[in-house]
C-alpha cells in the first residue's frame, strides 16, 4: 500500500527508513498517520527512541522513505517525503513529519 496513509493510525512493529545517507531498521511500537496541518497533507511517523546517532541522522535528514511492517507483513510503503519537522514526544519517541512536496 502506497500513497497517503489516511487519518486512521497504522500500527506496526518494524519500520525500515531510508533518509539521505541513513538506512536503518527499527523495531518496537511504531505508528504512522496522515494529518492535515494548515491545509497541507502530512505523514506523521512515530518511532521508538532510537540509537542517538540514528536519531541525529533522522533529525538532519531532508528527505526520507519508509516501509511499515507488522509480523513481517508489509502494511504501508511511503513515497519519497520531504521532512517538515522532527520532534521528541514526552516518552522519548521521535516524531518525523513529512509530505510528498
Q: Which helix (H) or strand (E) holds 56?
A: helix 52-60
Query: pLDDT tens, 56-91?
Result: 888 889 999 999 999 999 999 999 999 999 888 888
The pLDDT confidence band at residue 15, using thresholds 50, 70 and 90, is: very high
d(CA 50, CA 71): 20
Q: How far is CA 58 from the centre of its chain?
A: 10
CB 86 within 8 A of CB 95: yes
Rounded average pLDDT over 34-58: 85
Read off the pTM: 0.87
Structural domains in the chain, CATH included, are 10-99 (2.30.110.10)
Amino acid at each position: 500500500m502506497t500513497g497517503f496513509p489516511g487519518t486512521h493510525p497504522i500500527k506496526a512493529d518494524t519500520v525500515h527508513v531510508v533518509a539521505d545517507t541513513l538506512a536503518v531498521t527499527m523495531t518496537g511500537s511504531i505508528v504512522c498517520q496522515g494529518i492535515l496541518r494548515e491545509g497541507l497533507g502530512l505523514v506523521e511517523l512515530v518511532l521508538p527512541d532510537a540509537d542517538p546517532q540514528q536519531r541525529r541522522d533522522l533529525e538532519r535528514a531532508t528527505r526520507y522513505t519508509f516501509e511499515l511492517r507488522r509480523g513481517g507483513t508489509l502494511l504501508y510503503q511511503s513515497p519519497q517525503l520531504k521532512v517538515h519537522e522532527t520532534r521528541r514526544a514526552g516518552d522519548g519517541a521521535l516524531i518525523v513529519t513529512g509530505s510528498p512536496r
